[in-house]
Amino acid sequence: MPGREGRRAPRGSLERPYSALTLRLVLAVFGLLVCLAAGVASAARGWTAVAVALGVLAAVAAVDIGVVLVRLRQRRREGGPPPSLFG
């Protein structure tokens, strides 16, 4: 049975869990683009309620993008680990 020598230590802890901010940023940008495209298409077809709902979801995604960017900037100032897709 292999020993623990080959295992990497976990990046987070119970007191300060590790967050996948870059993955969250990618997903929020994807959601924003999809909601905007579908909202414009819905508005062109005259589906006002659907277009408004997609517009609200796009606004939520835009706010999430802003929050993630602020947190990434704070992490860089604190000297945290460099961003990767899953962290």
Model confidence pLDDT, tens digit, residues 5-45: 666 665 666 666 667 888 899 999 999 999 999 999 999 99
pTM for the full predicted model: 0.72
Is residue 83 very low, low, confident or very high in pLDDT (cuts 50, 70, 90)?
A: low
- Dmax (CA) for the chain in angstroms is 64
CA-to-CA distance for 43 and 55, rounded, in angstroms?
A: 10
Residue 3 within any structural domain of the chain = no
Residue 6 within any structural domain of the chain = no
Residue 65 within any structural domain of the chain = yes
Domain limits for position 68: 19-78
Asked if the model's pLDDT at residue 66 lies above 60, the reply is: yes
Residue 68 within any structural domain of the chain = yes
Alpha helices in 11-47 (DSSP H): 21-45
Nearest CA to 60 out of 32, 23, 22 is that of 32
> What is the number of domains present in the chain?
1
Token code pair at residue 62: 């835009």
* Measured CA angle at 23 (ends 40, 29), to 5 deg: 15
Residue 44 within any structural domain of the chain = yes
Residue 85 within any structural domain of the chain = no
- In the numeric block, the tokens 């704070």 are attached to 74
Residue 70 within any structural domain of the chain = yes
Residue 12 within any structural domain of the chain = no
